[in-house]
Amino acid sequence: MSTRLLLLVYLFVATLTACKKDDPNTPAPTTGTQTDLLVAHNWLVTRVTTPNGQDVNRSRLNVVTQSLFSLNMQFRANGTVRALDPNASNTVVNGGTWVLTPDNKSIDVVVTGLSGNFPIVQLDRSQLILRQTAPVDGKNADINLVFAPSL
């Protein structure tokens, strides 16, 4: 199992397990800075794709990558990130820090078991796509983690 992938999973677990609930009366920004868009809501992995957008079947992914589908990631404005388990009242599973690189093209994440730089393929109010190198069919490959806002 790739150390980087394992770290990414821990990061996302940490993000998804935040204790703070979003206020449903606070609308998500439609425009704004990358930070505004990232912290507007929690994020849930909905798909994994190849860099050219083809879906990768979950069965082809290792256990660590598969576990991302069950976590809510929460990026907070204070630079902390938490992975929340929505099946356990959003219990924090893991946590750490995050920062956008100066060019806003990638995000540096440091969490227990996962640290690295993840290129941002897309970030808007309805979707976050991060590039990751992870095992697919047992061999490391570039993949896109496709996130949608978590409700």
Q: Going residue by residue through the chain (151 aa), what tens digit of pLDDT does each one get?
A: 444 544 445 445 434 333 344 444 444 444 468 999 999 999 999 999 999 999 999 999 998 888 888 888 999 999 999 988 888 888 888 889 999 999 999 999 888 766 789 999 999 999 999 999 999 999 999 999 999 998 7
Domain spanning 3-149, CATH architecture? Beta Barrel (2.40)
Q: Give the Cα separation of 81 and 74 in Å (integer).
A: 6
Assigned token pair, 112: 């227990």
* 64 Cβ contact partners less than 8 Å away, ≥ 6 residues apart: 1, 2, 5, 6, 8, 9, 134
Give pLDDT tens digits for 115-146.
789 999 999 999 999 999 999 999 999 999 99
pTM of the model: 0.77
Q: Is the dihedral of CA 42, 48, 52, 55 positive or negative?
A: negative
Burial tier of 86 (Cβ tally within 10 Å: 0-12, 13-18, 19+): middle
